[in-house]
Amino acid sequence: MRARMPAAALLAVALPLALAQATPLRAAPDPAGMPSPAAPAADAPPPAPEGQLPDAVRPTAYRLDLTVDPAQPRFSGHVEIDATLKAPSRFVYLHGRDLAMHRAVAMVGGKPITGTWQQASATGLALLTFPTPLPAGPITFAFDYDAGFQDGPAGLFRVKVGDDWYGWSQFESIDARSAYPGFDQPGYKQPFTLTLRTPAGLTAVSNAPETGLTHAGGLDVHHFAPTPPLPTYLLAMMVGPFATASGAVPPTPQRDQPLPLRIISTRQNAGQLSFALAATAPIITHLEAYFGQSFPYPKLDQITAPIMPGAMENAGADLYEDSLLVLDDKATTAQKREFGMVVSHELSHQWFGDLVTPAWWDDIWLNESFANWMGYRIGNAWRPDLHIADGALAEGFAAMNTDALLAGRPIHQPITRDSQIDAAFDSITYGKGGHVVAMIAAFMGDDLFRDGVRHYMAAHRYGSGTSAEFFGAMAQVSGDPRLLPAMQGFTDQQGVPLLTFAPAESRSGVVFSVSQSRYAHLGTPAPDTRWTVPLCVRLGTERQCQLLDSPSGHVWFQHGSAADVLIPNAGGTGYYRFELPPAEWHRLIESSATLPGGEALALADSLRASFQAGRAHAADLARLAEVMSANPDSHASAAALSGMDQLDAWGLFDKPAALAYHRFVGRLYRPLLAPYGFNPRAGAYAGEDAETSQRRAQIVARLAGTARDTALRGQLLQAAKAWMAGDTTALDPAWYDLALPIWLADARRGWNWRNSAGALLDKALASQDPLLRPAALHALGTSGRVEMARWLLDEVRDPRLRTPERLHLVGAIAATPGTAGFGYGWMRDNLADLLKGGGGIFFASRLPQVLSGLCSVRLADAIAHDFGPSLAGKTAQLELDRTVERVADCGRLKDARGTEASVEIAKLR
């Protein structure tokens, strides 16, 4: 049914009876506008802003009364916004996207003045026009409207799970405007008072505690306490027949009362919420100790949604993708690592991001970069046995692959248009930014860096802050003014420093010269860029740290020996790549089996980058793989073959070399599996030591994947067959990603592949399991068979297949050898539909990434030709430019070094 608009008299500030008697909702009118109540005036509105609103109106409080029934396609709302108008005007710019606006009123001195609502841009800029100028001073805007739920995780969205409908909100970055009218930008922080009207018996969740439940018009009316000051993107509202696990975080030295805590998910997950409930409490305790203050909100709810891509830090009401919270003690090490990192990341935002927010989107990097670093740091403190911390460095080194491109951006960049905002949520912000924070923290020392964070937080509590203010706090606490240009050099400049080391003559100790330049790929001229680099180097056990603020310098080890191995990035915390003379490369590679995880990651990244720049050889990468694959640290061993894998994926090896590489991987990893053993049955390794479990998973993945080990693949195939036949104990969820593609490849050899593919698709769509469903769909999307890809995209119309899942299938097909050509053409021909939405937060901005695995100058030109005109000026333009450059760079590398690499790798035994 469609509900009537709520009466304004039920809100905290009443409007006149004429406004309270709102007309019933009708079929949605054109969201771009509504009929004008008065003849147009001669004067015109000021120019429409493309990004930040003019500071003509400052909101001070919101009151929202929404009727939300997820089983219906639309919801309705009444919103009041108290504000201050700085100067008289007939025109007010604010935000609202695709809202069917029924009434827009300004209350001035108790008198309603009806205005005209017009959506002025596709991104949701809206214009209110009034018949006469509104006076400067206090004002209340009031709106009655309805809008449609989204299919994907953006705005107010809904999903059917089993037989039940649920609704959630996901407002970052600029999707709050699709759920309610407002001034939708982060610098405005004000309290929100929310009322949610829902069908009887449903649970409603928001940022603040629920203060009461009443009933009106056959609906439950959920009343929530006013929130502390928040920006629009941190408001949360969730409605559905949720399952809930409740508890509390015990008092801490920073908080004298228990903190109410709930884990909330859809019904079928009711039995798998206890792990998250128990594990969240100590993470909160660690965070309170770090920040030196209590959790900033009166309660904490952690909610899951099946199509949420990642997680969102709504104040007091974090939202997560199901698999991040729905797990138990039998989960894999990788799952537990992700839980610890992501939950710590989102909860650190409750202070750094919610309590203190960015003044504008150009400083969102500070929120995300700091939280990324904190996610790994606090996650590691929560469970040291999981070795979570080095994952931050792996993410940072991966970001260098993007940062090395000429097409890109610095971490901190001006944002002048709405279309630029979502592009700021990329690997540069998370990976590079987090790594830069780690580098500064390591250079300053953990305690001093923490004191700087506390100083910054105290100055901006419940307000907004900027990068300059954060840098200033660090410089003030450290007492070292050089830190300010060091940090700004990394945040305000694009690119990766390359530090080139060489032995230098010395009368005592060991000395290395070091010079800096900007790293560049083969055939790309490096721009002349300089940094103040916090440089930490180790020779044997002697560690030296200094700021390299000139083009070149020296590192002197007083107690070093010429026989010691030089570690150019001690601890791996430095955001730079290094280059060494051949002898030093050799010594470092030969020591890689015993390097700590962070240093091993730095070595693997720099050696592969040296090959891409035209210096190191494929044989060097092979030797690193051979030695470092035996490193007992799971982060180090995971990186051992990363360089070789990249060359293989790019197609740099000819057929004999590719076969030699696959045999080489099998030779390395079969002996490594022996002490671990392998049993694919469910629960076979429950309760096992975390590193042992992770090493087995890595080894099995290498043997079943790259090496295509017949015996191991046979084990996985038999387990998958039994599991598909109904034996749920035959296959542990840890092996879904490996076993299901093997089963599908075997089953599709039959005369009717559709029966097999259909059985797996049905198994996926009949399940709400947060591991099974995506694994099965991914297996279908990465089959490598064009006929199956065409069937999935052009014929499958199962209503259980959710819009984001269908879009992810497009990406999988386009990124998989065998179907890449078909996927490319399908994306090109259906681009307009792909860009319409439904994929959720940032889908459109990242769409071109699925083509990044191609490797040809010709294909780079084709991508620019086929996709450039449609993406020009849009959020995805930057990612398209990066993709074109990646594909062209790879093509040039393949042309220049493919034959040489193939000859070297073909010799492997």
CB 127 within 8 A of CB 90: no
Distance CA 639, CA 637 (A): 5
How many helices (H) does the chain have, and how many strands (E)? 29, 29
Angle ∠(651,656,661) on CA atoms, nearest 5: 70
DSSP three-state, residue 312 = strand
Return all residues near 457 (Cβ < 8 A) that are at least 6 apart.
291, 293, 351, 352, 355, 356
Concatenate the DSSP letters of all residues of 750-783 into one string: SS-HHHHHHHHHHHHHT---TTHHHHHHHHHHTS
Distance CA 247, CA 280 (A): 10
How do beta strands 100-108 and 137-148 pair? antiparallel
Distance CA 538, CA 519 (A): 22
Name the E strands within 278-410.
300-305, 311-312, 317-321, 357-358
CB 513 within 8 A of CB 524: no
Q: Within the chain, what is the greatest distance between any pair of CA atoms?
A: 92
Cα 709 → chain centroid: 34
CB 66 within 8 A of CB 76: yes
DSSP summary character for residue 431: I
Distance CA 749, CA 625 (A): 34
Going 766 to 770 to 776 to 782, the CA torsion angle's sign is positive
Tokens representing 1 are 């049914």
CB 815 within 8 A of CB 823: yes
CB 347 within 8 A of CB 454: no
Distance CA 901, CA 909 (A): 15
Closest CA to 573 of 439, 483, 395, 448: 439
Distance CA 248, CA 682 (A): 32
Tokens representing 573 are 């915390």
Bond from prior residue into 173 cis (ω within 30 degrees of 0): yes
Tokens representing 128 are 């209110």
CB 191 within 8 A of CB 229: yes
φ and ψ at 42, to 5 degrees?
A: -75, -35
Catalytic residue among 346, 368, 395, 904: 346
Distance CA 330, CA 304 (A): 20
Distance CA 452, CA 445 (A): 11
Element (H, E) at 168: strand 164-170
Distance CA 541, CA 36 (A): 77
CB 616 within 8 A of CB 607: yes
Dihedral Cα 565, 570, 571, 577, nearest 10 deg: -100
Tokens representing 623 are 């030797």
Residue 99 amino acid letter: L
Element (H, E) at 618: helix 618-628
DSSP summary character for residue 226: P
Tokens 């990465």 found at: 782
Return all residues near 806 (Cβ < 8 A) that are at least 6 apart.
793
Distance CA 290, CA 454 (A): 9
Cα 106 → chain centroid: 39
505 catalytically annotated:
no
Q: Which residues are catalytically annotated? A: 346
